[in-house]
Structure 1
């Protein structure tokens, strides 16, 4: 049997169903973001770990120049090494067709018999290459789909200076290439980078590696000190041109996935609490209004024997019902949204399966925080219920004393009509309520500003990366280090207008206990095509007295200008350089260090050496230039800036960057919910007053003006506050999306702020129209019978 208080609870919910739905929606969105983000984090992490485990991804990678296979026994004998395998790896260029840029590729060996013990592949279609068939390859599935290749198609690839023809026997995915980029590049593009596998005997013959390997991969037992194994492996392989072993954390593919997970974790700790805090504030206003309006009912309930605890719990139940229903809807929506986005991530990171995992703690946290935040705001109101005795509660409250209040409306009497003075008097007599409404709407605006500014930050990243920093049209990389003569050869090609050299040297940077595996990039003293900029977007010259760090690298190593950096070079003679930090530069992709190219070459004791070049082109002669470049055996890779830009745009729109669209949609909905709630609360508080105005002879338009004028002033007052809060919130949001691999600048975008402000104004207009429509339908007699 339903108790009287529970029947009253149902009637109250039906009466405020519009406000309850809007507040519940705010709570639901907060919980949705929490469940969705934590679900994505768990799904990505669990899928990644399961994929690594099932296909036995190695824990340590040790590249060398050429090592005899007998050295595998010494590596296997190291403490903590569970399995070791030597393989052959080499670069290649795939010829797509006439006047098409060649595609950079990586060739990897498969054991001559059976499947690999480590770094196994997932066979999507077809079969593995047969032993003894040197012309058969297994191709990375992402590249095959991007290029429309099918089984038994043939590919032409240049390997070790020799052009070869291969037949595709199968398509595969690999845990080693979740995020596939060409060496030295940061932007993935399935159509511009390929991986293919061959039997070891065939690949070893192509690269003169018979009886040898140039990469050792090792799996470690649980609890093994990874760094100890890396140091021991480097010592064993040092005589064979080791360039430095590294762990799974430094594998580029794994690093990208890990950084994406960190970004999602950061975002999940910033955005949902804001939504739930706004919901608590709105519930506080609603419950406060109900308690004030139902003083007589509270007195009657106490007079009939209900205790203060029972009456207070009745109103608390109203809050809890809204909070719990919102949390349930948010949890369901979070699962659905997380599942949908997880599929996007699966396609982007090329997982062959998906372990969708929602952390149960996110549901518990969502419900607990929803109930807690909703209850805290209400408890401040319910304290007054305990102080109300039946006799006091059944009398109308003493009218407020405004005799000492500053009456701004009276002073502006000459310039304002009566409805305008009523609006102004309401604002000045209830400053606390007005301030609360301003803060609520301002918070909604801040969420929209942060989301739109984040999107503008992506656009700024494109503009700075491809118009300010990289001003060339094409980047060329070489198979090995070349002399300055290579620049002359490139400069003579028809269609090449300007050539600028570069050199990339792999290195491990150290500052005490902080370290990072990256590269030093050598640039001319005054680079024109590949520029480095500071925080003010001013080009930085490559001064000769030290090294310039990118800001992400400086943050990782905790260094600033004037400090000393230790750089352990991982090629050539492998010198250890002690370099003064002479500046910090802004970068948007990666975390490199920069030096003047001549100083870097001399430090390597290899003067005049380069590894790549940036070109500007005459686009009318591009087709012939491509054919000329393909004929040069020293070329290892060619990338057009336009192709790289298109690939980055696709990532932003269809990959992990799509999360920002979800955030924008959520921000838009919550902004409308806050504005609509403010309008509804104002209407509920003034329904009797507005009905009185109608009876006294005011027209519908004049009565509506009194209500909507208040909403307009509050909304306009919230705009500057929301813009300020949004600018601060943008820093937190951008920090969550930025990693040491790619950074998003915080930019002041008038367009973004204007869009956010326009959205709030539209929401205020729609909310005002809805409330006005309800005001026009008010039963004047019933409204006048209501006691304040």
Structure 2
């Protein structure tokens, strides 16, 4: 038996070497699926492990509370609430900064630090320098993203306007915080490291600047293990309501944590959807290759069985062939996946502010992936392996019976066309083996579909940019105010030099409740005659504001399980914390963020206020933009300024960069799969038709004519397979964008002629490259060896 095994192992090694081109091409298909899976899993597990360790080590809060003002002694009452563990009271505020060498407006969020330096909750990681010293009210620590964007470090100085008062601040250190892993400006959805940062000051300095001596306006706390967070939140709301609390909320509603969670969920989706597509193609391709290989080895199987090899030996031999290819693909995929995963992880670190990234992946996930890969590969060849094992020796010694000759329907329909003889052969070979033709066509279609899935997202990002920054936002800049003001201020604003047009809107924090579902967000009141911001539908057409009721984005409507006409309870998290009941007037579409909209008059009326606004949108004269920025920076009531072009730049530098990088890798691997599919189809056809093509050469056909027969069949498969691939790609794209929807963004399905052309061109180029290889092999065809009669 050992001699038998040795002979089969020798045969296996020789066949793997003789088929090295096909083996490598199939291995690349498998490697593509494994690499995408490993890349996603590595980033998912690394970010998850890093976040978990960071949260635990630096005591990230589980409950957050914002207030107007509470005296310091209230902290003792908070600490006595059942379930409350560690708690930190602090002062928070806003500032406008004047950074040397940077003319655009810059705003910052200020957080106080206790006298001891490190707070009990949301502790600070010091990357460089130190925390502000007690008694030094002009020292600040900067978050790393802001410091890096402006090249600031310990000892640098800049001016700041805090609560209407200007003062010079000195940088004591560069730090990070688990509370600000993902740094977002107020009311924004994207980070802007140059124009928005987080600063920490000691409590004496910030308390004095914000008129909060002996008081606090923010609480962060941890909950005792096993105690319900919801119960602690309810108790805090009752206790702190008299101090103007905006409603306690849990970690799941904290901006930074929520967006990072969305990103992790998307990586988890990528780790399942893409590999599923790639593995399906690999399984199909292996089935085709092994089936055709075995059909060319009928005589060899017969000889093996005549020499005493059992069905089990034959099955084991061909199983080893399949598994050897799968192992090669698995190893390649693991190496490529780890390499790409490290590169993508380093890119995530540019805007996810961790002290460092822990590259971790569960070994059991790798083991499971390896097991699935080998199983999928073996299942791909199982049918062919079983047929080889069950083939009776006497039948195997005979060549396959000739196909039944008949004129096919296609030949009848095309009988009026004067084809050349090689072209007639192509039509007959294609139509007389419809199952084989169908499978080959599906291989081409799947290759086309995979490339299309990788490329359609570039068009989607373009549409997202156009919708958000051309159709929705048409202002040059917006100014957020500290407190709502009468809309009459807009008339004075419009008359200022450099401001061409100004309009106001109002946003209020709110909790939307529908039965047991709730969502914490902001309601935006927009004037009916708005010219600078619009609400659009799925067709990018403006949606008129309803007379009454609330407009919701489709993502938010699904989360709350509501539709037009349903009633919705709203808790306003500002002012007197009143409850409002309204109806859902309509559902619209947005690609970035989630929103709830009302008419400005309707919102103010529901809140019992007059014509108030707390945001001003403006179009400015580009030639006088710097003076407008300077004027707004010096206006006391202005909290911060957002420039539309800066938001667009931020979109491309953060969200689009990571999204399109992942897409690029996927497209590249999709191209590899396309080449693998096409190359194997051509090589298998060449192996099957070698005898026939050599016979035609003996009969006088030229090299170009037999190449026409072989490659012409491939051309027919391309013509039929590429349009089918577009349909398959469209379906896969719908599956992908459905699985990738998050609060941060929803990828629209947009497939342009360019995307279709790129996917078709990639497949055609793969076919051309494969055809050149086949053409060269035809030139070196050994007519004597090929024409030897098989007895």
Give the TM bin, normalised by the shorter chain. Answer: over 0.9
Q: For 1:387-786, what aligned pairs fall within 5 Å after superposition?
A: 387-403=390-406, 405-406=408-409, 408=411, 412=415, 415-785=418-788
Q: Does the Cα contact within 8 Å between 1:99 and 1:624 map onto a contact in 2?
A: no
**What is the deviation of 1:657?**
4.2
Tell me, yes or no, if structure 1 residue 75 matches structure 2 residue 78. yes
Q: Does the Cα contact within 8 Å between 2:104 and 2:626 map onto a contact in 1?
A: no
Query: What SS does the corresponding residue of 1:214 show, helix, strand or coil?
Result: strand
Distance in 2 separating the partners of 1:687 and 1:246: 72
Distance in 1 separating the partners of 2:33 and 2:765: 23
Counterpart position of 2:385 = 382
Q: Does the Cα contact within 8 Å between 2:145 and 2:351 map onto a contact in 1?
A: no
Distance in 2 separating the partners of 1:664 and 1:527: 41
Q: For 1:4-403, what aligned pairs fall within 5 Å after superposition?
A: 4-96=7-99, 100-403=103-406
TM-score, normalised by the number of residues in structure 2: 0.97
Structure 2 residues not aligned, in runs of 5+:
none
Query: What SS does the corresponding residue of 1:655 show, helix, strand or coil?
Result: helix
**What is the deviation of 1:779?**
1.1
CA-to-aligned-CA distance 1:748-781 (integer Å, 9 cap, x gap) = 3121111111111111111111111112111111
Aligned residue pair count? 788
Query: What SS does the corresponding residue of 1:348 show, helix, strand or coil?
Result: coil
Q: Does the Cα contact within 8 Å between 1:590 and 1:741 map onto a contact in 2?
A: yes
CA-to-aligned-CA distance 1:101-138 (integer Å, 9 cap, x gap) = 32110111111124111111111111121111111111
| Higher mean displacement: 21-30 or 144-153 | 144-153
Query: What SS does the corresponding residue of 2:281 show, helix, strand or coil?
Result: helix
| Higher mean displacement: 71-80 or 688-697 | 71-80
CA-to-aligned-CA distance 1:581-630 (integer Å, 9 cap, x gap) = 11111112211100000110111111211110211111122122222222
Structure 1 residues not aligned, in runs of 5+:
none
Distance in 2 separating the partners of 1:354 and 1:651: 18
Distance in 2 separating the partners of 1:114 and 1:495: 45
**What is the deviation of 1:733?**
2.2
**What is the deviation of 1:389?**
1.8
Query: What SS does the corresponding residue of 2:66 show, helix, strand or coil?
Result: strand
Q: Does the Cα contact within 8 Å between 2:486 and 2:611 map onto a contact in 1?
A: yes
Distance in 2 separating the partners of 1:125 and 1:219: 27
CA-to-aligned-CA distance 1:319-338 (integer Å, 9 cap, x gap) = 01111221122122222221
**What is the deviation of 1:359?**
2.2
**What is the deviation of 1:205?**
0.8
Query: What SS does the corresponding residue of 2:551 show, helix, strand or coil?
Result: strand
1:152 and 1:415, CA in 2 relative to 1: closer, same or farther beyond 3 A? same
Distance in 2 separating the partners of 1:414 and 1:653: 52
- Tell me the C-alpha RMSD between the 2 structures: 1.6
Q: Does the Cα contact within 8 Å between 1:493 and 1:628 map onto a contact in 2?
A: no
**What is the deviation of 1:407?**
6.5
1:357 and 1:462, CA in 2 relative to 1: closer, same or farther beyond 3 A? same
**What is the deviation of 1:413?**
6.9
Distance in 2 separating the partners of 1:564 and 1:318: 63
Q: Does the Cα contact within 8 Å between 2:117 and 2:134 map onto a contact in 1?
A: no
Query: What SS does the corresponding residue of 2:694 show, helix, strand or coil?
Result: helix
**What is the deviation of 1:249?**
1.0
Distance in 1 separating the partners of 2:273 and 2:669: 14
TM-score, normalised by the number of residues in structure 1: 0.98
Distance in 2 separating the partners of 1:691 and 1:454: 46
Query: What SS does the corresponding residue of 1:151 show, helix, strand or coil?
Result: coil
Q: Does the Cα contact within 8 Å between 2:85 and 2:223 map onto a contact in 1?
A: yes
Distance in 1 separating the partners of 2:545 and 2:101: 39
Distance in 2 separating the partners of 1:258 and 1:87: 26
Distance in 2 separating the partners of 1:163 and 1:407: 85
1:98 and 1:355, CA in 2 relative to 1: closer, same or farther beyond 3 A? closer
CA-to-aligned-CA distance 1:124-176 (integer Å, 9 cap, x gap) = 11112111111111111211110122321111111111111111111111111
Distance in 2 separating the partners of 1:407 and 1:740: 52
1:219 and 1:447, CA in 2 relative to 1: closer, same or farther beyond 3 A? same
Distance in 2 separating the partners of 1:696 and 1:78: 97
**What is the deviation of 1:17?**
1.0
Query: What SS does the corresponding residue of 2:654 show, helix, strand or coil?
Result: helix
Distance in 2 separating the partners of 1:609 and 1:97: 35
Distance in 2 separating the partners of 1:407 and 1:133: 89
Query: What SS does the corresponding residue of 1:271 show, helix, strand or coil?
Result: helix
Distance in 2 separating the partners of 1:494 and 1:785: 93
Query: What SS does the corresponding residue of 1:3 show, helix, strand or coil?
Result: helix
**What is the deviation of 1:412?**
2.5
CA-to-aligned-CA distance 1:228-253 (integer Å, 9 cap, x gap) = 11111111100000001111111111
**What is the deviation of 1:440?**
1.1
CA-to-aligned-CA distance 1:262-299 (integer Å, 9 cap, x gap) = 11111222110111111111111111112211111111
**What is the deviation of 1:410?**
9.5
| Higher mean displacement: 522-531 or 328-337 | 328-337
1:449 and 1:411, CA in 2 relative to 1: closer, same or farther beyond 3 A? closer
Distance in 2 separating the partners of 1:545 and 1:766: 63
CA-to-aligned-CA distance 1:667-695 (integer Å, 9 cap, x gap) = 11111111111111111111111111111
Query: What SS does the corresponding residue of 1:719 show, helix, strand or coil?
Result: helix
**What is the deviation of 1:469?**
0.9
Q: Does the Cα contact within 8 Å between 1:573 and 1:604 map onto a contact in 2?
A: no
Distance in 2 separating the partners of 1:758 and 1:562: 48
Query: What SS does the corresponding residue of 1:349 show, helix, strand or coil?
Result: coil
CA-to-aligned-CA distance 1:474-503 (integer Å, 9 cap, x gap) = 111111111112212211111111112111
Query: What SS does the corresponding residue of 1:757 show, helix, strand or coil?
Result: helix
**What is the deviation of 1:98?**
8.5
